[in-house]
Amino acid sequence: MKTCLVVDDSRVIRKVARRVLEDIGFEIAEAADGMEALAWCRAAMPDAVLLDWNMPVMNGIDFLRQLRAEPGGAAPKVIFCTVENSPDHIRAALEAGADEYIMKPFDGDIIEAKFAEAGLL
């Protein structure tokens, strides 16, 4: 079973994402900020990361840059999921190594479509 780390400081968003992703066959781990997410990845690299942008302690883009520099950190597909919807933000995410990008608000259909685009389904 593929694993997905859901990184978001909102417990509600994590819960919604978990339900959708479990429905399409992922095993879920959760982290509330980039630092916690990095600790998870160092322990067990997931197949996918669903990543919020604005979080306390360490934000999503800083996490992504660090992840990509870690041993094995190039492997996970990283899908941003954020309210930031400007082309500049999207370009910055792609340059930092994001595979796909979801603009909130999202629904299950969008998550599924984007995970398919990232080659995860």
Partner 1 sequence: MTPEDMDLLAALGRARAGVRIETEKPYLIESRLAPLARRESYDSIDALIAALRSKREERLIWAVVEALCRSETRFFRGRETFAQLRDQVLPALSQRRRETPIRIWSAACATGQEVYSMAIAAAEAPGLFPGARFEFFGSDLSERSLEKAQAGIYTQFEVQRGLPIRLLIKYFESQDDTWAISPRIRQMVRWKRINLLADLSAMGRFDVILLRNVLGGMEASLRGKVARALAALLPEDGVLVLDPEDDASEIDEVLTPAPGGHGIYLRDPSIRAAAAA
How far apart CA 114 and CA 76 sit, in angstroms, is 15
H or E stretch at 20: helix 11-23
Q: Find the binding residues for partner 1 in span 49-68 (CB under 8 A).
A: none
Q: Find the binding residues for partner 1 in span 81-100 (CB under 8 A).
A: 85-87, 90-91, 94, 98, 100
We find the least distance from the C-beta atom of residue 99 to partner 1, in angstroms, to be: 8
Kindly tell me which residue out of 4, 114, 115, 120 binds partner 1, with binding defined by CB under 8 A: 114
Residue 35 contacts partner 1 per CB under 8 A: no
* DSSP SS3 for 109: helix
Show the tokens assigned to 30: 């959760």
